[in-house]
Amino acid sequence: MSLTHEISKWNNFRPKEAFLLITWQDSASNRNALNPEIHQMIERLGLKETHPSLWHAVAAILMDRVVDAVSEMENDEEATYYVRPMIDKNDIRTAQLVPEHLLSVCWAETRSGDWTSEYYGVYLPHEDTYFVVCSGFDAAVGDNSDWLVGEVSGQRPSIEVLMNIIEEDWGTQSVDCEQPVWQFVNCGLVTEEMAKAMAKKVWDRSGPARSTTIDVNRRA
């Protein structure tokens, strides 16, 4: 496939978005690398502070203009919200991606709001790939962000595959960060029964750090 054809396939995205998406697809074995050109594109898209890596930036592109608010933890008593920056407002983008809500979990409640993670599935027809994106507070960034937690070929994988991706993400957090089980969940495509089963498998395996009653859909 010629480079011209490869670029034209993405012509309904903004040029800088297309560059990062092509880079993602072409660098499967080295996606953690942040060379100067990638860094420059992320900065030009206005994502440097909240989406500093290729993993974050691609997730932000997939979620742009569709889900524009994520719960934010602040030091005042009122819950505030952070809106993703409109990516390169001077460029015209005609691609309209439609994320599907899988589920949202609250890890902790604070006086100023909830610490949440929201999981979405997004199909990218240009590469016939379905991505799972997590949005919420990212301790590595120190702010709210979006990041990729999985990708599968095809328009929409089975619900079992989606559950496995989310379960793996929870397992990583429970082991690497000693993250206790979430406090409550709002369900999307992943049902109450599925969410409970996933949580039980992860935290029974890793050993929960606290006793928590799972209150499913408390705020649905």
Q: How far apart are CA 14 and CA 31, in angstroms?
A: 21
Location of structure tokens 């496939």 = 1
Considering the chain, what percentage of its residues have pLDDT values greater than 70?
71
Mean pLDDT over 113-136 rounds to 88
**Residue type, position 177, single letter:** C
Average pLDDT of the residues of the chain: 78
Nearest to 159 by CA among 185, 125, 194: 194
Q: 84 φ, ψ to 5°? A: -60, 140
- pLDDT (0 to 100) of residue 212: 36
Partnered with residue 103 across adjacent β-strands are 119, 187
**172 neighbors 134 (Cβ within 8 angstroms):** no
The residue to which tokens 């809106």 are assigned: 83
How many whole angstroms separate alpha carbon 186 and alpha carbon 195? 9
Q: pLDDT tens for residues 100-123? A: 999 999 887 766 566 788 999 999
Pairing of strands 70-72, 80-82: antiparallel
